[in-house]
Amino acid sequence: MAQISLTFPDGNARSYDAGVTPAEVAESISKSLSKKAISAQVDGAHWDMQWPIKADAKIAINTPADDTAALELIRHDAAHIMARAVQEIWPDVKVTIGPVIENGFYYDFDRQEPFTPEDLGAIEKKMKEIINKRDPITTEIWDRERAIRYYQANNEPYKVELIEAIPGDEPLRMYWHGHWQDLCRGPHFQQTGQVPADAFKLMSVAGAYWRGDSDRPMLQRIYGVAFRNKNDLRAHLTMLEEAAKRDHRKLGREMDLFHMQEEAPGQIFWHPNGWRIFTELQNYMRRKQEAGGYVEVNTPQLVDRSLWEKSGHWEKFGENMFVVEVDEEHAREKAVNALKPMNCPCHVQIFNQGLKSYRDLPLRMAEFGCCNRYEPSGALHGIMRVRGFTQDDAHIFCAEDDIESETSIYIQWLTEVYTDLGFAEFKVKFSDRPEVRAGADEIWDKAEAALLDATRKAGIEPELNPGEGAFYGPKLEFVLTDAIGRDWQCGTHQVDFVLPERLDATYVGADGAKHRPVMLHRACLGSFERFIGILIENHAGKLPFWLAPRQVVVASIVSDADNYVHHVVKTLKARGVRAEADIRNEKINYKVREHSLSKVPAILACGLKEVEAGTVSVRRLGEKQTHVETLGSVADQLCAEATPPDQAKKHELTVV
RNA sequence: GCCGGCAUAGCUCAGCUGGUAGAGCAACUGAUUUGUAAUCAGUAGGCCGGGGGUUCGAGUCCCUCUGCCGGCACCA
């Protein structure tokens, strides 16, 4: 038999018969390794212990200590074991696919009856039985014909379709445990008992379209999480509880920020506290935009159909627009208007007023535009995904040659904003030309290169999203990561060759001829509503002092301190701090508890001692310790904290 | 939009197989003047999401609409 050479991680090589399996390799090294082994890496690929190795390769044997490999196998095998459990309980259920996902796995089933929470418990129990049976997992290669015949005979149409979709003459791999088998590319464990029986949990059932296509049947997806041990599972469940505590919908109610109601689905009733956050953030953005060379404009909410037809939105996004018909008194037909779903066509109208010269470019036009989009009901989510929202939108009208420099300037500016708002770390995604697109390839070449070069010059290597650009131009997306590791796509920066053309925007060049400007659509926060939701969840409601709607509560301990409390509040307000008095006839314990729960960052308690000494007792949110300080120094400190970051920086500069 | 679940007092939730709605917190009133995460007592509070049906009788069962929640699809 032919010999092959396998090189181990330590650099040593050994020779084996061609077709040797990692199981045999492990055995040849040591008994203990062969016992522990779960899979292998062969030339970097994750390799089943039973798969033959036919040529020279680098090999490493994985043990349960190898996080990535172990978790992948645990989750993948758990998915298969779940599918087997389901079919053992309900033999008529049809199986489809069951991949590994973050923290766990899912499997999609076709079953008439819906799965209930009680069913999940029964499935879990059955899964544990299967694990405890320690059934050996074996693998076989089948040809397509045999596999198709097998699945046809077993009435598994989804599997037949999957096989038919696998290209070419690739051999098909079947996995068996016990009498049960599934088509799978592997790798898997050696026996079902290698999945920890106490470290997985079935979480939920949800509908999911077959092959992700909304025109195809809806299947039932069961989601599970799986880990290497009980403790990791417990830690994950605790993390989920923590995330639930941060839910902006819950905190929004507790902090009295906003509410929503049936009569206005997907729209927000902002209460005073919430609106304070909104305006504070908007004031900040307005100052930043002004500093960044933007001009701010405001355009109509309700715009006649004809403009949307010209811009192309009517045809492409009409389904998602709120349309308003009005009986105008002199008109023969009803006037048809739409609430603006975006600001760009209106901005072009402003650009088109009068003649623009190349000297006017780049023209950075910003609007806190209130937009309405008819989002499908199932897409709505708290204040994160709504039907009425405010964008921090801007369009930069510039020459093609300016794309790169404007992109650089924008990335710099956006970095400052994200840093000020507590998101110093962010990722950039780059989407290039889609199959169906407008504009000549040379222009796309130039625009894509400009976006990429500008991003790299900012020291960021973007992730690539091939083919994901808009039909009218390539784009950058800015993704920030929150305090518990979740990603939020917020900023965008898109090149648009099409809209200036459609709406006939022109400028007079140095050559005296008319030219077509390029438009850069950009937003940094995305929508204020969603961004505030992200801020609330990121900070678990404990917003930075300058954004906190209620910054200070001054609480009396005895009613003889009431006058002093009012004096303290007045002093702080005069320094621009949002302070309020709490002189209710309640114990200080009660007041501290209540204001702490509603996330007021600073509580100043005043009793007779403070009245006499002209001090306050300071208690900061989240701290048990209190300290007594003079009113003057507390006011100085809180005033500094209440200053928004951009103004604080400016202040530093003028002082230095 | 699709699949599933849910909708009871301001909030969080009880209310078994149909027999006329209950708790805690909040609110209000009174007492208490209090030292850093709940002082005590009392009072009031509900078209049980909307509409229709079954029944002698519906918060409870059925149909339907709306909204919310978890996913899927969507996200210019």
Instruction: Note the pLDDT of residue A654.
Output: 66
Q: Is the CB of A253 under 7 A from strand B?
A: yes
pLDDT attached to residue A656: 53
* Residue whose C-alpha is closest to residue A37's, from A22, A51, A52, A21: A22
Neighbours of A358 (CB within 10 A): 14
Q: Which of A's residues 82-121 have CB atoms within 7 A of nucleic strand B? A: 114, 116
Give A536 CA → B41 C1' in Å: 39
Q: Which of residues 513-552 of A touch strand B (CB under 7 A)?
A: 521
A632-643 CB burial, b ≥16 within 10 A, e <16 = eebbeebeebbb
Tokens of A291: 């500093």
Å between CA of A565 and C1' of B42: 31
- A301 catalytic residue (yes or no): no
Residues A311-340, mean pLDDT to the nearest whole number: 89
Mean pLDDT of A612-628: 95
- What integer pLDDT is reported at residue A655 of this predicted model? 61
Within residues 172-231 of protein chain A, the ones with CB less than 7 A from nucleic strand B are 204-209, 212-214, 218, 220-221
Contact yes or no for A615/A629 (Cβ under 8 A): yes
E strands, A318-425, are 323-326, 335-339, 363-372, 388-398
Distance in angstroms, CA of A260 to C1' of B54? 35
Q: Which CATH superfamily is domain A552-654 in?
A: Anticodon-binding domain (3.40.50.800)
- The CA-based angle A491-A493-A496, given to 5 degrees, is 145
Tell me which of A77, A392, A393, A402 is the catalytic residue. Answer: A393
Q: Which nucleotides of B are covered by protein (CB under 7 A)?
A: 1-5, 11-12, 31-39, 66-76
> Average pLDDT, whole number, for chain A?
93
Q: Which nucleotide is nearest to A106 (CA to C1')?
A: B71
**Does residue A608 come out as left (phi exceeding 0), alpha (psi in the -120 to 50 range) or beta?**
alpha
What is the rounded CA–CA span in Å between residue A80 and residue A67? 20
Determine the average pLDDT of the residues in A376-403.
Answer: 96
Provide, in whole angstroms, the distance separating residue A233's CA from nucleotide B38's C1'. 34
Q: Identify whether A259 is a catalytic site residue.
A: no
CATH fold of A258-300+340-538, please? BirA Bifunctional Protein; domain 2 (3.30.930)
Q: What CATH number matches the domain at A71-243, 1.20.1050.10, 3.40.50.1980, 3.30.300.130, 3.30.980.10?
A: 3.30.980.10
The enclosing H or E element of A629 equals strand A626-630
Q: Are A89 and A123 in contact (CB under 8 A)?
A: yes
Name the nucleotide nearest A220; use CA and C1': B3
Mean pLDDT of A417-426: 94
- A179 part of the active site: no
Closest by CA position to A495, among listed A359, A409, A398, A386: A398
> Any catalytic annotation for residue A521?
yes
| Alpha carbons A562 and A605: distance in angstroms, whole number | 11
Q: How far is the CA of A595 from the C1' of B31 (A)?
A: 25
Let me know if A152 is a catalytic residue: no
Instruction: Considering only CA atoms, name the residue closest to the C1' of nucleotide B67.
Output: A262
Find where tokens 């036009």 sit. Answer: A365
- HSE (side-chain half, CA atoms, 13 Å) at A146: 9
Q: Which of A75, A135, A159, A344 is catalytic?
A: A344
Per-state percent for chain A, helix, strand, coil, to nearest 5: 40, 30, 35
Q: Is A354 exposed, middle or buried (0-12, 13-18, 19+ CB in 10 A)?
A: exposed
The residue to which tokens 């069913």 are assigned: A119
Q: What is the pTM of this model?
A: 0.92
| A28-63 as b/e: b if 16+ CB within 10 A | eeeeeebeebbbbbbeeebbbbbbebeebbebbbbe
Q: Which residue is nearest to nucleotide B37 (CA to C1')?
A: A593
What's the pLDDT tens digit per position in A25-47? 999 999 999 989 999 999 999 99
The answer to whether strand B lies under 7 Å from the CB of residue A621 is yes
Q: Is A456 helix (H, G, I), strand (E, B) or coil?
A: helix
Torsions phi, psi for A332 (to 5 deg): -80, -35
Report the pLDDT value the prediction gives residue A332, as an integer from 0 to 100.
Answer: 79
How many residues would you count in chain A?
Answer: 656
CA of A439 to C1' of B52 (A): 57
Structure tokens at A244: 């639930």
ipTM value of the model? 0.94
Active-site residue, selected from the candidate residues A391, A392, A433, A599: A391
Report residue A4 as tokens.
């092959």
H or E stretch covering A553: strand A552-556
Beta strands in A113-217 (DSSP E): 137-142, 172-177, 180-183, 200-209
Which residue is closest to B72 in terms of CA–C1' distance?
A208
Question: Of A294, A267, A515, which is closest to residue A382 (Cα–Cα)?
Answer: A267
Yes or no: say if A556 and A611 are a contact pair by the CB < 8 Å rule.
no
A 487-516, residues with C-beta < 7 Å of strand B: 494
pLDDT at A435: 86
- Whether A346 sits among the annotated catalytic residues: the reply is no
Per the model's pLDDT, the better-predicted residue between A651 and A224 turns out to be A224
The A 568-587 residues near strand B by Cβ under 7 Å are 585-587
Q: With beta carbons less than 8 A apart as the criterion, state whether A52 and A83 touch.
A: no
φ, ψ of residue A81 in degrees (nearest 5): -65, -35
- Helix A645-655 crosses helix A272-291 at what angle (to 10 degrees)? 50
Asked about A184 being catalytic, the answer comes back as no
A259 pLDDT exceeds 90? yes
Nearest to A83 by CA among A103, A101, A100, A97: A97
Pairwise CA distance, residues A76 & A188, whole Å: 7
d(CA A136, CA A189) in angstroms, rounded, equals: 9
pLDDT at A436: 85
- How many CB atoms sit inside 10 A of residue A163's CB? 19
Q: In the predicted model, what is the mean pLDDT of residues A574-584?
A: 95
DSSP reduced 3-state for A64: coil
Protein-to-nucleotide distance from the CA of A222 to the C1' of B61, whole angstroms: 30
First and final C-alpha spacing in chain A: 80
pLDDT reading at A96 higher than 90: yes
C1' of B72 to CA of A319 (Å)? 20
Q: Which of residues 348-387 of A touch strand B (CB under 7 A)?
A: 373, 375-382, 385
Asked whether residue A93 carries a pLDDT value surpassing 90, the answer given is yes
CA of A78 to C1' of B1 (A): 32
- Reading the block at residue A307, the tokens are 């403009």
CA atoms within 13 A on the CB side of A199: 20
Beta bridge partners of A393: A367, A523
- Alpha helices (runs of H) in A292-437, residue ranges in sequence order: 305-311, 313-317, 344-351, 403-420
Contact yes or no for A393/A342 (Cβ under 8 A): yes
> Which secondary-structure segment (H or E) carries A590?
helix A588-597
Residue A248: how many CB atoms within 10 A of its CB?
A: 24
**Whole-number Å distance between alpha carbons of A594 and A612:** 27
Residues A410, A418: contact at Cβ < 8 Å?
A: no
When comparing pLDDT for A242 and A280, which is higher? Answer: A280
Give the least confident one: A101-105, A222-226, A241-245: A241-245
The class level of CATH for A3-63 reads alpha beta
CA-nearest of A195, A228, A232, A229 to A81 is: A195
- DSSP 3-state assignment of A505? coil
Which backbone phi and psi does A145 adopt, to 5 degrees?
-55, -50
What b/e readout covers A487-526, taking b as 16+ CB neighbours within 10 angstroms? Answer: ebebbbbbbbbbbbebbebbbeeeeeeebebbbbbbbbbb
Residue A331 has pLDDT above 90, yes or no: no
Strand B: which of residues 302-341 in chain A lie with Cβ below 7 A?
313, 316-317, 320-321, 341
Ranking A57-61, A113-117, A132-136, A224-228 by mean pLDDT, the lowest is A113-117
Distance CA A553, CA A293 (A): 38
Residue with token string 């016990």: A178
- Quick one: CA torsion of A340, A341, A342, A346, rounded to 10 degrees? -20
Question: What was the pLDDT predicted at A438?
Answer: 86
Give residue for tokens 């059932």: A205
pLDDT band at A246, cuts 50/70/90? very high
**Does residue A243 approach strand B to less than 7 Å at its CB?**
no
Round to a whole number and report the distance in Å from the CA of A254 to the C1' of B19.
39
Q: Residue with structure tokens 């099409």?
A: A498
Alpha-carbon distance A49 to A25, whole Å? 9
The residue behind tokens 């973007």 is A462
Domain ranges of chain A: 3-63, 71-243, 258-300+340-538, 552-654
> Stated in angstroms, how far is A266 CA from B64 C1'?
23
Query: Pick the catalytic residue: A521, A522, A550, A591?
Result: A521
For residue A403, give the DSSP letter. H
Is the CB of residue A621 less than 8 Å from the CB of residue A600? yes
